[in-house]
Amino acid sequence: MRTVINLVLAAIAAALIWVLVSSISEPIAFGDELNRRQDAVINRLKEVRTAQQLFRDVTGDGFANSFDTLDQVLRNGKIPIVSVFGDPDDPNFDGVIRYDTIFRSALDSAMSLNLPLDSLRYVPYTDGVQFDITADTTTYQSTLVNVVEVSTNYKHFMGPFAHPRFSRYDNTYDPTKTIKFGNMSTPSLAGNWE
């Protein structure tokens, strides 16, 4: 009988130890995974932002409203590079000001910036989930401006930690919260993580 009681007490002690270790390790694992996945998504959003700026350089204005358009322009477009000979801002300059334009491949620029064109559209840590992308024009302070917004929700890339119950470990965590750059109502390319 005493052996049975000792075995039951040992089992209860083991269960309590397991509960204690789990209650400590789960918040740590969540925090580590949140930081790792969030950093990867932010880095990808920064790459998309750079690609959108390159798109604007190629087209002269506006932003791509789809990843297909963005990819096509960055692979096939050309960036005009204007060289100015003479100083148009010097009031004492009396020579002829000459402008010379050459074109550089947008693909070369994208490669020199290490933009992953094949995977740019995909949210890291997902099975092919794409970022939401919207681009248009809006009136801002009585001026028509180009705007863009690229975003995704935390629930798409947090995997097993996409449940709202994990917010008890981080009161700012909400799996339905959006991580994005840009804004459809103001001409800004800032990210909401900055």
The answer to whether the Cα torsion of 61, 63, 69, 73 is positive or negative is: positive
How would you label 113-145 residue by residue, b for 16+ Cβ within 10 Å and e otherwise?
A: eebebeebbbbbbeeebebebebeeeeeeeeee
pLDDT tens for each residue of 145-164: 999 999 999 999 999 999 99
- Is residue 88 in some structural domain? yes
Average pLDDT, the chain: 90
- Is residue 9 in some structural domain? no
pLDDT tens for each residue of 54-85: 999 999 889 999 999 999 999 999 988 888 88
The per-residue pLDDT for 179 is 97
- Is residue 111 in some structural domain? yes
Domain span at 176: 29-182
**3-state secondary structure labels for all residues of 46-101:** HHHHHHHHHHHHHHCCCCCCCHHHHHHHHHHCEEEEEEEECCCCCCCCCCCCEEEE
User: Any bridge partners for residue 145, and if so which?
Assistant: 138
Burial of 163 per CB tally in 10 Å (0-12, 13-18, 19+): exposed
User: Any bridge partners for residue 78, and if so which?
Assistant: 105
Contact 60, 81 (CB under 8 A): no
Give backbone dihedrals phi and psi of 162, rounded to 5 degrees, phi first. Answer: -80, 5
- Is residue 153 in some structural domain? yes
Q: Would the pLDDT of 22 be above 80? A: no
The per-residue pLDDT for 64 is 95
- Is residue 177 in some structural domain? yes
- Is residue 122 in some structural domain? yes
pLDDT confidence band for 19 (50 / 70 / 90) = confident
Domain count, the chain: 1
- Is residue 6 in some structural domain? no
Prediction pTM value = 0.82
Contact 176, 134 (CB under 8 A): no
- Is residue 8 in some structural domain? no
The per-residue pLDDT for 21 is 67
Q: At what angle do helices 2-59 and 67-76 cross, to 10 degrees?
A: 50
* Cα separation, 47 vs 9, whole angstroms: 57
